[in-house]
Amino acid sequence: MHCFTEIRELGLIKISKFDNRLTRKTFHINLELEGLSTIYCGLICTTQRPLCVGMLYNSITKSCKILISHLTERSVNDRVLVEGWGVWIDPEACWPGWFPFAGHCYQLHTEGAPFEDAVIRCQTEGAYLVEVDSVEENMWITEEFGDYAWIWLGFNDREMEGTFKWTRPGSHVVFTNWRPGEPSNSQSDDCAGLSKTGVWNDMSCTIAFRFICEKDKLRV
């Protein structure tokens, strides 16, 4: 109990329902260390903030895994149990209703909206329509929010046909994941959506899709 009290003092709480369970994918993990105490693993996490939002720790093997996203029922392996593992998270890494990944916060809006309305809604929340900068981020978004056929990305070629860019000024395009044959560059298909399988497609901006808002700093 003394150990758990010290961990809580670091701003981490234990999620007991995930005991003896590991993440399905490695993109949740930023750093793996061996031979550490629980407290030292937690201290390492605090030095990695805002990137670290929790930790996996094995009390038997003394293995420490620094998490860049919270684990959910979607992301843990419920078929294989490995004795000794426990999950601690920082519950204040993001605002209520927002989910952390790699130093950013994300919120899914399940009400459908055309592309421009989605952009404006995110802006009113001090955020922007989601940008995807890596294969890991694309995989995480698909895993966490992939219940829907399509979700708007903040990616579009409304200003110049065939030249896609993010809606947020100054953002650079460093990653794409177009479906084969896309973008079609049709005159009416100027906005990009993310499918439930993780591939992108350009389509009419007037369609009402669910959307994700993103903030590039965690709650402090």
Parallel, antiparallel or unpaired: strands 29-34 and 13-14: unpaired
Amino acid (1-letter code) at residue 127? A
More confident residue, 25 or 19: 19
In this predicted structure, what is the pLDDT of residue 146? 85
**Which helix or strand (DSSP H or E) is residue 191 part of?**
strand 191-195
Q: Is the pLDDT of residue 11 over 80?
A: yes
Confidence of residue 2 (pLDDT cuts 50, 70, 90): very low
Span 20-43, average pLDDT? 92
Span 54-61, average pLDDT? 96
Say what percent of the chain tops pLDDT 70.
Answer: 95
Predicted confidence (pLDDT) per residue in 142-179, tens digit: 999 988 999 999 999 999 988 999 999 999 999 999 99
> How many angstroms separate the CA atoms of 172 and 2, rounded?
47
Distance of CA 89 to the CA centre of its chain: 15
The length of the chain, given as a count of residues = 220
Predicted confidence (pLDDT) per residue in 74-123, tens digit: 888 878 889 999 999 999 899 899 999 999 999 999 999 999 999 999 99
Amino acid (1-letter code) at residue 103? G
Among 44, 56, 52, smallest CA distance to 15 is for: 56
> How many angstroms separate the CA atoms of 147 and 85, rounded?
28
Span 183-205, average pLDDT? 91
In this predicted structure, what is the pLDDT of residue 220? 52
Q: Which domains occur in the chain, in start order?
A: 2-89 (3.50.4.10), 99-215 (3.10.100.10)
In this predicted structure, what is the pLDDT of residue 185? 74
In this predicted structure, what is the pLDDT of residue 219? 55
